[in-house]
Amino acid sequence: MCPQGFLSSPTEAVRELAALLYAFIIVHGLDAPQFEETLRELIAATVKSRSLETRHGHLLSLSHALERKIMLMKKFGTTDKLATWPLYKDATNAIVSQLSHQNAMMVAAACTGIGELARCAALPLVEGSISPTDGGTELGKLDLVRKLQEHTNKLTTKLYLLVIVSQLYLLVIVSQLYLLVIVSQLYLLVIVSQLYLLVIVSQLYLLVIVSQLYLLVIVSQLYLLVIVSQLYLLVIVSQLYLLVIVSQLYLLVIVSQLYLLVIVSQLYLLVIVSQLYLLVIVSQLYLLVIVSQLYLLVIVSQLYLLVIVSQLYLLVIVSQLYLLVIVSQLYLLVIVSQLYLLAKEGAALTLGLLCLGEVFPHRKEVMQGFLDTASEMTVGEALVCCIQGQSSPLARDVWTTSVTDWSPAPSPTMDADLAWLLGELLVLARRPQPNPRQAACIWIPVIPCNTTIDLSLPHHSQSFGESEGARDVYIVLPLWGYLIPTGLTEIVQDVASKGLALVYESSGEESQAELVRDLLEQLTSGRRAAVQVTGDTQLFEEGALGKSPTG
């Protein structure tokens, strides 16, 4: 399957690899007319496609294809045709136009494409700036520099704002989860209270029932006592009556009456026993009803408890799902932050690569832009590209030439640019604000590490002017390693100490001896370099204290 089909893949890594492979195929496998027709298709897809993935893949493939084509033209000595090749200008304008895209991924791809073209040859853009009154959407080289610098600063602000929003969003989420836990605990507390109250009411109700039963037994006993008393009184009356009868010699009648009285008493006693038995049966039935009601109350309580447990379990599930959504959103936020960071670093490096394909007329503006916003720690490589120009190893054909085999002629502007940049960095290192001093600590060691210069060479010291002298530049320059880090962070001090070793290795014997003496003096006396502050010194960067610093 042709790699062209993977240029619209949803996976970014697949699109990047497919773009590179497709570029090789169309450059080395097609003839000139077919190659130009394919380039037109790539340009159209880059500018007009509605799919973000398609535009991204075709933009990368267009950049790599032009890079390979220019390298082949340089190999055969036909790069003079680039100035009259209209398709090269159309492709460059299409790539540059994507710098205005709202998506950070497209901006990063546009920076990559511009860098690939600029390191091979001069961009087909006019020098200087194009006035807005001229019409059209094309940019001049100076406009391109400002556009990339604008992206570097804007993306930094967006990234910082994104971090703040992420922290606030995380704070809100944690607060909501904490509130959810509190509500769950309060709800559980209410449920437990209701259950406890239900148990208390059940016990009170059972106590009332027992009291009524006990009262019923007492009444039954009292009623039985009354009956026995009446029977006993009846017997007494019967005996007295019998005595009278005997006295009157009505023995037969009395016996009959007594017998009848006994029968009546037994019948009456039988009725009483029946009533008591019926009372016991009614009590047992009443007790059975009470037990049934209590059992039904227990069942209802268990069902109510089951409903409560189900609600709590559902609450736990909802909390877990909500937490899963939160984690997904935070993960997406991290990915967006990485895209912004990638676009920012790509814009910074592209500014340096603009100086490789030609003697770039606006290289001073590029370096000055980095110095004016001395808060980025990742532009050291771009500064080295500005100094080395066409002699930079990044200007070689990376597919056919290794770094060790790369031996171009030195750039004609290298000495002057190097002297100017070192002087500006030393001025930057002496500023009282922490950001410029930290940036100087990071950037200065990159120069001797990535350039083959001898800091003790006389022609380098002369380029700074006689007023500075060799010692003011090439002895003060090594001293930055321990003068600048005073009061800075650990990581900056660590980089400064390693950079000091690099500067030491690049210095002459006299400078190395002077550096060792100064280091020993500081170790023995603890001498520190003081930053000079005058009435005109700006202690804080613009906007560092907010819009209302006085409150």
Task: Please report which confidence band the pLDDT of residue 421 belongs to, taking 50, 70 and 90 as the band edges.
Answer: confident
What share of residues in the chain are helix, strand, coil (percent, to 5)?
75, 0, 25
Domain final position from 124, 146, 174? 124
435 token code pair? 């950001």
171-196 mean pLDDT: 78
Q: Are residues 318 and 182 in the same domain?
A: yes
The whole-number pLDDT of residue 261 equals 85
Residue 219 belongs to a domain:
yes
Task: Please report which confidence band the pLDDT of residue 52 belongs to, taking 50, 70 and 90 as the band edges.
Answer: very high
Residue 513 belongs to a domain:
yes
Q: Which is higher by pLDDT, 464 or 148?
A: 148
Q: Is the pTM of this model over 0.75?
A: no
Span between the terminal Cα atoms of the chain, in Å: 66
Q: Are residues 369 and 265 in the same domain?
A: no
Task: Using the predicted structure, report yes or no on whether residue 510 has a pLDDT greater than 50.
Answer: yes
Lowest mean pLDDT among 173-177, 302-306, 429-433, 539-543: 539-543
Task: Using the predicted structure, report yes or no on whether residue 351 has a pLDDT greater than 80.
Answer: yes
The whole-number pLDDT of residue 26 equals 93
**What DSSP string runs through 82-123?**
GGG-HHHHHHHHHHHHGGG-SSHHHHHHHHHHHHHHHTTS--
Q: Are residues 269 and 391 in the same domain?
A: no
User: Does the CA dihedral 102-108-109-113 come out positive or negative?
Assistant: positive
pLDDT digits (tens, 9 = 90+) for 70-101: 999 988 888 888 888 999 999 999 999 998 88
Residue 149 belongs to a domain:
no
**What DSSP string runs through 61-86?**
HHHHHHHHHHHHHHHTT-GGGGGG-H
Q: Are residues 437 and 303 in the same domain?
A: no
Cβ 153 vs Cβ 104: under 8 Å = no
Q: Which domain holds residue 513?
A: 361-536
Q: Are residues 72 and 165 in the same domain?
A: no
Q: Which is higher by pLDDT, 274 or 46?
A: 46
Residue 63 belongs to a domain:
yes
Residue 424 belongs to a domain:
yes
Task: Please report which confidence band the pLDDT of residue 33 belongs to, taking 50, 70 and 90 as the band edges.
Answer: very high
Task: Using the predicted structure, report yes or no on whether residue 381 has a pLDDT greater than 80.
Answer: yes
Residue 387 CA to its chain's centroid (Å): 37
Average predicted confidence (pLDDT) for the chain: 78
Q: Are residues 418 and 520 in the same domain?
A: yes
Q: Cα–Cα distance between 354 and 386 in angstroms, integer?
A: 8
The whole-number pLDDT of residue 72 equals 92
Residue 28 belongs to a domain:
yes
Q: Are residues 389 and 322 in the same domain?
A: no
Domain final position from 291, 307, 342? 342
Residue 140 belongs to a domain:
no
Q: Cα–Cα distance between 352 and 384 in angstroms, integer?
A: 8
Which residue is listed with tokens 């800091």? 455
Lowest mean pLDDT among 107-111, 157-161, 392-396, 510-514: 157-161
Q: Cα–Cα distance between 344 and 158 in angstroms, integer?
A: 10
Q: Are residues 112 and 223 in the same domain?
A: no
150-166 mean pLDDT: 66
- Looking at the chain, the whole-number percentage of residues with pLDDT higher than 70 is 79
The whole-number pLDDT of residue 128 equals 82
The whole-number pLDDT of residue 485 equals 45
pLDDT digits (tens, 9 = 90+) for 472-484: 344 344 444 444 4
Task: Please report which confidence band the pLDDT of residue 339 belongs to, taking 50, 70 and 90 as the band edges.
Answer: low
pLDDT digits (tens, 9 = 90+) for 188-228: 788 877 877 887 887 788 788 877 878 887 887 788 788 87
Residue 351 belongs to a domain:
no
496-508 mean pLDDT: 73
The whole-number pLDDT of residue 540 equals 54
Domain final position from 292, 310, 342? 342
Q: Are residues 451 and 523 in the same domain?
A: yes
Q: Which of 435, 382, 440 lies closest to 542 in space, CA to CA?
A: 435
Task: Using the predicted structure, report yes or no on whether residue 539 has a pLDDT greater than 60.
Answer: no
Q: Are residues 245 and 279 in the same domain?
A: yes
User: Does the CA dihedral 390-391-395-401 come out positive or negative?
Assistant: positive
Q: Are residues 499 and 380 in the same domain?
A: yes
User: Does the CA dihedral 418-424-430-436 come out positive or negative?
Assistant: negative
Task: Using the predicted structure, report yes or no on whether residue 462 has a pLDDT greater than 50.
Answer: no
The whole-number pLDDT of residue 137 equals 63
- SS3 of residue 461 by DSSP: helix
Q: Are residues 335 and 379 in the same domain?
A: no
Q: Cα–Cα distance between 71 and 69 in angstroms, integer?
A: 5
The whole-number pLDDT of residue 304 equals 80
The structural domain count of the chain equals 3
